[in-house]
């Protein structure tokens, strides 16, 4: 009996039902969800109450269905158009981001630390987003049943079309974010209110962090108020308790005082050690002595007596004689902490730097003109977001996703962040191919930044220790076919997902091997490849014989079995 495959992405609806059935098995009746029973279990008894707050628009339910409709997309590597393919850890995918997000569900479910997007703004005159750039439009419509829509402001669906474009993509993107992940989205006034409502629904209002205001330029050409700002909405995938950012130039200048620790700790600023704002805490009320003078707090100290005396002995407290003869007692806070790490600060909700002009200059420096891509975000803006520390955890080895990659600013920012602080962050970028933007703009920009050479060979900068794996989306046939008719395409698809998830490369890499069939195992063991191999990624349904297992073990090779979920979506 021949095995049949459907070659489609993860069945999100079935996966959600299975997870629900695991937690509440009693709500599944004859394989179907009993919604009334589920609501009863959750204490939501009044199911006839339809007069409740909710955000709705025409087409919203169809958007959710579109997000969960399985895709026939697969990745096709483009080694000749990649940069440092053998050491790749960054991925750039040419194709419609809806299909890419579906494809990433298998390899990156709950694994992305940060998502940043700069989606198309709803100008009212341009098309919202054309869901075809991987294949010819007719082919794309055939396999996805989507259509292209223009969005003039005079249409009744002015906001609706934009929301219908964004909603399925945001739902899919949320699946990829880690539990401790963070999401940022740039937006302007036209859709800021609607985008926040959608994100409140997708991530939960309780996980809303802030709306940053980016003062992007200094123009003065508006009819009423000069519109100099945009917004960046920030959400966590779970509550965020603390955020810290790098100190900017002004922040570092505040550490202006010097003492004998300057060479090792840098300058310092001072902070008061007496307080009147805390509640009454008896052990913070005590006297200290300085130069024979007894000093008492106005109310109480910030620190315990033991900590304060230790700081005084270490020279970390500054005493200043006041005009009335009393002393102010202030703690020294140095620019560098005891471990030599530079201090961090609290990010401000209003950002005055960098400016749009900085992004324009980056494009001009690479391409010789800014006309090739208008209004590119400055990479320093995104680098600032990437380097935020969340809940006091460093973000130097994270995965960053941007599925509206545009000119590649996010990739540029990740590369710059790694170069500046020695991090090992990696990015996954996706963009459509409007006006050949993939090859002519995004790819050329990232290649120039990595290699240090422009397209014409002129020097741009020093080569950087980064790489770029360039891939494109293609579609498998949806008609019923037996396994052997396109098994090779599906197995190649699995190889690419393993590479994508683990940031590895099997091509020309003698230390790694991926074996998806028993025939491949036999051929590998019989070859000389086994001598240099250190790790094998083995198909989950491949059975090794005792002899094969011993040979692999005797050669000191580590086995990693490819998870079953890679295959589950491919079988009927």
| The last residue of a domain, from among 276, 303, 334 | 334
Asked if residue 373 and residue 300 are part of one domain, the reply reads no
DSSP at 315:
T
Any idea which residue has 């270490």 for tokens? Answer: 314
Whole-number pLDDT of residue 209 = 94
Report if residue 22 sits inside a domain. Answer: no
DSSP 3-state of 570: coil
Report if residue 19 sits inside a domain. Answer: no
Asked if residue 111 and residue 221 are part of one domain, the reply reads yes
Whole-number pLDDT of residue 8 = 59
Whole-number pLDDT of residue 467 = 86
Strand partners, 427: 400
Domains identified in the chain, total number: 3
Asked if residue 212 and residue 96 are part of one domain, the reply reads yes
What is the b/e burial string over 225-239, where b = at least 16 CB atoms within 10 angstroms of the residue's CB? eeebebbbbbbbbbe
| The last residue of a domain, from among 416, 449, 475 | 475
Whole-number pLDDT of residue 151 = 52
Give the ranges where 345-426 is alpha helix by DSSP (H): 356-367, 379-386, 409-421
Report if residue 323 sits inside a domain. Answer: yes
Whole-number pLDDT of residue 143 = 39
Consecutive H or E run containing 231: strand 229-236
Tell me phi and psi for residue 475, to 5 degrees. Answer: -120, 135
Report if residue 34 sits inside a domain. Answer: no
Query: What is the Cα–Cα distance from 284 to 297, expressed in whole angstroms?
Result: 9
pTM: 0.75
Query: What is the Cα–Cα distance from 257 to 266, expressed in whole angstroms?
Result: 9
Asked if residue 291 and residue 355 are part of one domain, the reply reads no
Q: Helices (H) and strands (E) in the chain — how many of each?
A: 19, 25
Range of the domain at 304: 250-334
Asked if residue 182 and residue 155 are part of one domain, the reply reads yes
Report if residue 189 sits inside a domain. Answer: yes
Whole-number pLDDT of residue 223 = 65
Contact 493, 72 (CB under 8 A): no
Asked if residue 170 and residue 270 are part of one domain, the reply reads no
Asked if residue 362 and residue 313 are part of one domain, the reply reads no
**Checking DSSP bridges between strand 112-117 and strand 177-187, what pairing results, if any?**
parallel
CA distances in angstroms from 459 to 87, 387, 451, 463, listed in the order given: 23, 28, 9, 10
Asked if residue 544 and residue 450 are part of one domain, the reply reads no
Q: Which DSSP string corresponds to 439-468?
A: IIIIIHHHHHHHHSB-TTS-B-S---S--B
Query: What is the Cα–Cα distance from 112 to 172, expressed in whole angstroms?
Result: 12
Asked if residue 264 and residue 237 are part of one domain, the reply reads no
Whole-number pLDDT of residue 483 = 42
Asked if residue 295 and residue 387 are part of one domain, the reply reads no
Asked if residue 283 and residue 239 are part of one domain, the reply reads no
Per-residue pLDDT of the chain (572 residues; tens, 9 = 90+): 333 444 556 677 777 788 887 777 777 776 778 787 787 777 766 555 556 677 888 888 888 888 888 777 777 777 777 887 666 679 999 988 999 999 888 888 899 999 999 998 876 554 444 433 233 334 434 434 444 444 555 444 578 888 999 999 999 999 999 999 999 999 998 889 999 999 999 999 999 999 999 988 766 656 667 778 999 999 998 888 888 898 888 889 999 999 999 999 999 999 999 988 777 888 999 999 999 899 999 899 999 999 999 999 999 999 999 998 889 999 999 999 988 889 998 898 999 889 999 999 999 999 999 888 988 999 999 999 999 998 888 889 999 999 999 999 999 999 999 999 999 999 999 988 877 888 899 999 999 999 999 988 899 999 988 888 888 887 765 554 444 444 555 566 777 778 877 778 787 788 999 998 888 899 999 998 998 999 999 887 787 888 888 899 899 999 888 876 666 544 44
Closest alpha carbon to 235 in 178, 159, 181: 181
CATH of the domain at 402: 3.40.50.150
> How many Cβ atoms sit within 10 Å of the Cβ of residue 277?
7
Tell me phi and psi for residue 202, to 5 degrees. Answer: -70, -45
Q: Which DSSP string corresponds to 245-269?
A: EE--HHHHHT--B--TTHHHH--EE
Report if residue 124 sits inside a domain. Answer: yes
Asked if residue 102 and residue 217 are part of one domain, the reply reads yes
Closest alpha carbon to 182 in 418, 377, 387: 387
Whole-number pLDDT of residue 136 = 37
Any idea which residue has 């098995």 for tokens? Answer: 25
Q: Which DSSP string corresponds to 105-159?
A: HHHHTTTEEEEEE-PPP--SSS-S--S-SSS-HHHHHHHH--------TTSTTHH
Report if residue 18 sits inside a domain. Answer: no
Copy the structure tokens of residue 514. 């991926």
Whole-number pLDDT of residue 221 = 59
| The last residue of a domain, from among 427, 456, 475 | 475
Report if residue 522 sits inside a domain. Answer: yes
Tell me the HSE value of 460 on the side-chain side, using a 13 A CA sphere: 23
């Amino acid at each position: 009996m021949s095995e049949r495959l459907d070659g489609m992405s993860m069945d999100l609806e079935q996966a959600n039902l299975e997870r629900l059935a695991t937690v509440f098995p009693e709500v599944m009746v004859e394989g179907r969800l009993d919604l009334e029973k589920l609501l009863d279990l959750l204490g939501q008894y009044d199911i006839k109450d339809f007069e409740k707050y909710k955000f709705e628009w025409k087409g919203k339910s169809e958007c959710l269905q579109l997000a969960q409709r399985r895709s026939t997309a697969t990745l096709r590597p483009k080694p000749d158009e990649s940069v440092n393919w053998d050491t790749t850890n960054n991925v750039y995918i040419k194709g419609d981001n809806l299909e890419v997000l579906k494809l990433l569900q298998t390899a990156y479910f709950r694994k992305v630390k940060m998502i940043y997007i700069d989606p198309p703004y709803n100008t009212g005159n341009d098309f919202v987003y054309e869901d075809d750039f991987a294949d010819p439009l007719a082919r794309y419509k055939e396999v996805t049943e989507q259509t292209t829509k223009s969005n003039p402001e005079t249409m009744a669906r002015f906001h609706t079309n934009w929301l219908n474009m964004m909603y399925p993509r945001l739902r899919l993107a949320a699946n990829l974010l880690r539990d401790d992940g963070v999401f940022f989205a740039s937006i302007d006034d036209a859709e800021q209110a609607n985008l926040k409502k959608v994100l409140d629904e997708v991530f939960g209002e309780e996980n809303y962090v802030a709306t940053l205001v980016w003062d992007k330029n200094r123009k003065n050409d508006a009819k009423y108020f000069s519109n100099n700002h945009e917004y960046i909405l920030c959400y966590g995938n779970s509550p965020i308790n603390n955020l810290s950012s790098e100190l900017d130039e002004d922040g570092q200048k505040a550490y202006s005082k010097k003492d004998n620790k300057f060479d090792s700790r840098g300058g310092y600023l001072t902070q008061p050690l007496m307080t009147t704002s805390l509640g009454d805490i008896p052990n913070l009320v005590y006297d200290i002595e300085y130069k024979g003078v007894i000093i008492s707090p106005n109310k109480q100290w910030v620190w315990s007596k033991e900590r304060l005396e230790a700081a005084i002995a270490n020279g970390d407290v500054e005493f200043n004689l006041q005009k009335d003869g009393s002393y102010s007692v202030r703690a020294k806070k140095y620019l560098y902490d005891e471990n030599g790490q530079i201090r961090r600060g609290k990010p401000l909700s209003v950002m005055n730097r960098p400016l749009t002009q900085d992004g324009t200059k980056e494009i001009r420096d690479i391409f010789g003109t800014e006309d090739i891509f208008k209004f590119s975000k400055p990479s320093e803006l995104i680098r600032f977001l990437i380097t935020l520390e969340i809940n006091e955890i460093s973000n130097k080895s994270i995965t960053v996703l941007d599925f509206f990659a545009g000119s590649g600013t996010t990739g540029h920012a990740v590369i710059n962040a790694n170069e500046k602080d020695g991090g090992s962050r990696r990015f996954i970028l996706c963009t459509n191919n409007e006006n050949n933007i993939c090859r002519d703009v995004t790819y050329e920009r990232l290649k120039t930044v990595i290699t240090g050479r422009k397209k014409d060979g002129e020097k741009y900068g020093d080569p950087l220790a980064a790489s770029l794996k360039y891939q494109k989306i293609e579609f498998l046939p949806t008609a019923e076919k037996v396994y052997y008719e396109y098994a090779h395409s599906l197995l190649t698809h699995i190889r690419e997902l393993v590479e994508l998830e683990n940031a590895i490369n099997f091509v020309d890499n003698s230390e790694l091997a991926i074996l998806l069939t028993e025939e491949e195992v036999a051929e590998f063991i019989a070859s000389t490849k086994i001598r240099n191999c250190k790790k094998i990624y083995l198909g989950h349904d491949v059975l090794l014989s005792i002899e094969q297992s011993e040979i692999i073990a005797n050669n000191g090779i580590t086995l990693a079995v490819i998870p079953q979920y890679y295959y589950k979506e491919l079988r009927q």
